[in-house]
């Protein structure tokens, strides 16, 4: 084993760790080098700097090392702690499978683990469980501290992470950063009053040498794919992110945490008026709908479409054919992306032509625009049978008890089965939705007469509005269609199968917001349609 090449993996999850804590890169290297010296090994280092240990998907050096292990290059992998490899149990099992299959031993701070041995494998599992538990406890304690800080009216974040245009004062209050606020006002005025695109504004800001937040703080922007360093400058997406942020005209900052259902609202000063914000946002949407040379098409169903198989969103995409010189636009499922976990299977869903799916949804909405009375029929058709008030109260108590049981089960220390964990998460989500629906139904039964009057008034107003829109339906632009869809449609679920060059199956399920719009309390109804309100399976070329 003398002079044998061994893989030494080191990682830190932040630039702070990289500089001064006990898990710094130099410290890890020193420890592993000493181990190699004692065993007369030749260390080959793989370094991932500033990358989280919760997933291996975006850690190029770890993936490179695992590939080398699969090729038989290394028979020993050295780390200072197992959580340097990963803190995710599913990823840990994936890594262990590679080591076992290729007879690779894991050396943790000098202790050699042969994962083919049951005791060593069990010891590795226990370390993984405790690492996961520790990560959750740290996350909960951090979230609790931030939440309590927010309840005191303080911003639970640093100056760098706060929204551009604001800063923290000495008392951790959110106040306006005058220099950055001046840039915010310039951006909104350029779009609203001069009609400039986000791309043109980014060019203008760079030409005026106005620094970005990253440049002001000297932050290094490094690619996680090829480790390349990029210049911190304004881009189209960074400007667009500012234009879409409602924070700039509101007098409160909304702080939310996944561990607490109730959000906290922190007082602050607005930078611009609501009128200027809406004018700029509308102009930005119009700019995106322009289909001139080199312009990007507007995907009016963006944010609404989801795959029923993998649960991932559909996003807009395009493909340019060099042979024909034409560009084809379509929606694709993120579950088919190469960026999913290496040990996960890609979704078999179909990529759908942009014009095909958008025309289906447009035609379905046109039925309501041309004849608004069909909204009332839609609501009556999808209305659930109402139970008695006593039965509803019993169901609420029963559902709350089930929720408590699921939360206790999820928080158990030794749940390390990712499949079971996913099932429990889905059940918790279903129970939350059921609780909302039951509370809405209880409120509706208790206030039946008053709510019925409100619904009729709202429905009359909506019908009148849609009737007026329907009169000019053929003249609607894509950006106008997008605003209608954003208002009326809650979600579009896609059940499809993609074959070589064609779509084998395409079922579309549209959920409308009509019941939420006409009610004080939200209660969604689902309209299942395929090709303009007809549900079936269909084969078509794409």
Check if the beta carbon of residue 372 is closer than 8 Å to that of residue 512.
no
Per-domain residue ranges for the chain?
4-142, 152-289, 305-387+445-541
Structure tokens, 307? 């795959």
Predicted confidence at residue 392, as pLDDT, reads 64
Looking at per-residue confidence, does 475 or 266 come out higher? 266
Higher local confidence (pLDDT), 452 or 15: 452
Check whether domain 152-289 has CATH 3.30.470.10, yes or no:
no
Burial class (CB in 10 A: 0-12, 13-18, 19+), 74: buried
pLDDT at res. 248: 94
Using DSSP bridges, classify how beta strands 76-79 and 41-49 pair: parallel, antiparallel or unpaired. Answer: unpaired
pLDDT of 455 > 70? The answer is no
Alpha helix stretches (DSSP H) within 411-447: 418-446
Q: Which segments of 282-375 are extended strands (E)? A: 305-307, 314-320, 327-333, 352-353
Q: Which residues of 357-383 are buried (b: 16+ CB within 10 A; e: fewer)?
A: bbebbbebbebbbeebeebeebbeebe
pLDDT at 476 over 80: no
pLDDT score of 182 more than 90: yes
Residue 527 binned pLDDT confidence (cut-offs 50, 70, 90): very low
Residue pLDDT, tens place only, 249-265: 999 998 888 777 788 89
Model pLDDT, residue 179: 92
Which of 212-226, 236-250, 450-464 is most confident?
A: 236-250
The CATH superfamily holding the domain 4-142 is Resolvase, N-terminal catalytic domain (3.40.50.1390)
pLDDT band of 139, cuts 50, 70, 90: confident
Which of 248-262, 322-336, 343-357, 392-406 shows the lowest per-residue confidence on average (mean pLDDT)?
392-406
CA–CA gap between residue 494 and residue 506 (Å, rounded): 7
pLDDT tens for each residue of 9-52: 998 875 444 444 445 788 888 888 888 898 889 999 998 876 66
Confidence category of residue 239, pLDDT binned at 50, 70, 90: very high
- Residue 362 makes CB contacts below 8 A (sequence gap 6+) with 481
What is residue 404's predicted lDDT score, i.e. its pLDDT?
65
> Can you give the pTM of this predicted structure?
0.49
Residues contacting residue 64 through CB under 8 Å, at least 6 positions apart: 46
Q: Measured between alpha carbons, how far is residue 221 from residues 23, 339, 436 in Å?
A: 22, 20, 43
Give bridge partners of residue 111 from the DSSP assignment. 108
């Amino acid at each position: 084993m003398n002079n044998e090449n061994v893989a030494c993996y080191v990682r830190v999850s932040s630039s702070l760790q990289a500089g001064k804590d006990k898990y710094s890169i130099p410290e890890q290297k020193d420890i592993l080098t000493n181990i190699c010296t004692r065993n007369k090994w030749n260390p080959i280092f793989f370094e991932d700097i500033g990358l989280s240990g919760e997933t291996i998907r975006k850690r190029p050096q770890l993936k490179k090392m695992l590939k080398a292990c699969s090729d038989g290059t290394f028979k020993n992998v050295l780390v200072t702690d197992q959580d340097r490899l990963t803190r995710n149990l599913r990823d840990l099992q994936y890594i262990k499978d590679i080591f076992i299959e290729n007879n690779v031993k894991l050396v943790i701070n000098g202790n050699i683990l042969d994962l083919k041995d049951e005791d060593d494998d069990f010891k590795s599992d226990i370390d993984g469980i405790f690492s996961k538990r520790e990560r959750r406890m740290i996350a909960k304690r951090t979230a609790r501290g931030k939440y309590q800080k927010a309840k005191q009216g303080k911003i639970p974040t640093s100056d760098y992470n706060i929204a551009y245009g604001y800063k923290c004062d000495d008392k951790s209050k959110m106040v306006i950063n005058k220099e950055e606020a001046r840039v915010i006002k310039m951006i909104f005025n350029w779009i609203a009053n001069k009609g400039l695109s986000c791309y043109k504004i980014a060019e203008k800001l760079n030409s005026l040498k106005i620094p970005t937040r990253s440049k002001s703080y000297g932050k290094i922007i490094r690619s996680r794919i090829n480790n390349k360093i990029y210049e911190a400058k304004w881009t189209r997406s960074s400007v667009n992110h500012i234009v879409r942020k409602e924070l700039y005209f509101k007098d409160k900052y909304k702080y939310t945490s996944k561990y607490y259902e109730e959000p906290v609202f922190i007082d602050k000063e607005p930078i611009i008026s609501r009128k200027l914000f809406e004018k700029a946002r509308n102009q930005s949407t119009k700019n995106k709908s322009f289909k001139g040379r080199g312009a990007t098409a507007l995907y009016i169903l963006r944010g609404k479409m989801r795959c029923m198989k993998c649960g991932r969103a559909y996003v807009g995409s395009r493909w340019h054919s060099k042979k024909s010189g034409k560009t084809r636009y379509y929606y694709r499922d993120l579950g088919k992306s190469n960026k999913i976990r290496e040990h996960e299977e890609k979704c078999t869903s179909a990529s759908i032509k942009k014009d095909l799916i958008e025309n289906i949804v447009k035609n379905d909405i046109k039925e309501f625009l041309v004849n608004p009375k069909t909204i009332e029929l839609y609501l009556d058709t999808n209305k659930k049978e109402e139970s008695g008030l006593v039965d509803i109260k019993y169901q609420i108590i029963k559902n709350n008890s089930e929720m408590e049981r699921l939360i206790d089960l999820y928080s158990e220390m030794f749940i390390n089965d990712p499949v079971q964990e996913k099932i429990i998460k889905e059940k918790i989500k279903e129970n939350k939705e059921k609780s909302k629906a039951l509370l809405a139904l209880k409120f509706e039964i208790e206030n039946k007469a008053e709510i019925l009057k409100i619904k009729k008034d709202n429905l009359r107003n909506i019908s009148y509005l849609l009737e007026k829109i329907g009169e000019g339906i053929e003249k609607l632009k894509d950006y106008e269609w997008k605003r209608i869809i954003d208002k009326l449609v809650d979600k579009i679920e896609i059940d499809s199968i993609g074959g070589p060059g064609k779509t084998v199956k395409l079922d579309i399920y549209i959920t409308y917001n009509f019941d939420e719009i006409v009610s004080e309390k939200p209660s969604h109804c689902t309209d299942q349609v395929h090709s303009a309100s007809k549900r079936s399976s269909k084969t078509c070329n794409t």
